[in-house]
Amino acid sequence: VDPQKYKSIFNGFSVTVKEDGVRGLAKGWAPTFIGYSMQGLCKFGFYEVFKILYGNMLGEENAYLWRTSLYLAASASAEFFADIALAPMEAAKVRIQTQPGYANTLRQAVPKMFGEEGIWA
């Protein structure tokens, strides 16, 4: 976030370790873990739902003939909803990692975000 402070990836690691210790490298791990777990669950779950839904809309024969397009449409639809599930956790992670003093944990970040901006934070 600060090109003057972090000149390269290796420099960024060393600066982070000097300032926050090895623990600083794991800052934001909880929202990352939860967010990508939710995204994966939604992605694979909704893919199956949309595949069946779109297949039923097309009919059995057309679903077979257009299976590649059907799979692409199901995948894109699933990804849309999966990204919505990921977005709140990514917002918390970015604030934890890029705004010094904002919050150190997910438990601190979420109530603060909600208090400042409401549910749309």
In a domain, 12, yes or no: no
Residue 8's pLDDT is 92
102: domain range?
Answer: 28-117
Alpha-carbon gap, residue 26 to 108, rounded angstroms:
16
- For CA atoms 39, 43, 49, 54, give the dihedral sign: positive
pLDDT tens, the chain, 121 aa long: 788 888 999 999 999 999 989 988 899 999 999 999 999 999 999 999 999 999 999 999 999 999 999 999 999 999 999 999 999 999 999 999 999 899 999 999 999 999 999 988 8
In a domain, 5, yes or no: no
Q: Distance from CA of residue 77 to its chain's centroid? A: 16
In a domain, 4, yes or no: no
Q: What letter represents residue 10's amino acid?
A: F
In a domain, 19, yes or no: no
| pLDDT tens, residue by residue, 58-87 | 999 999 999 999 999 999 999 999 999 999
Residue 45's pLDDT is 97
H helices of the chain, where? 9-20, 29-58, 60-65, 67-98, 106-117
Are 96 and 105 in contact, with CB atoms under 8 Å apart? yes
Residue 120's pLDDT is 87
In a domain, 37, yes or no: yes
In a domain, 32, yes or no: yes
In a domain, 22, yes or no: no
Number of domains composing the chain: 1
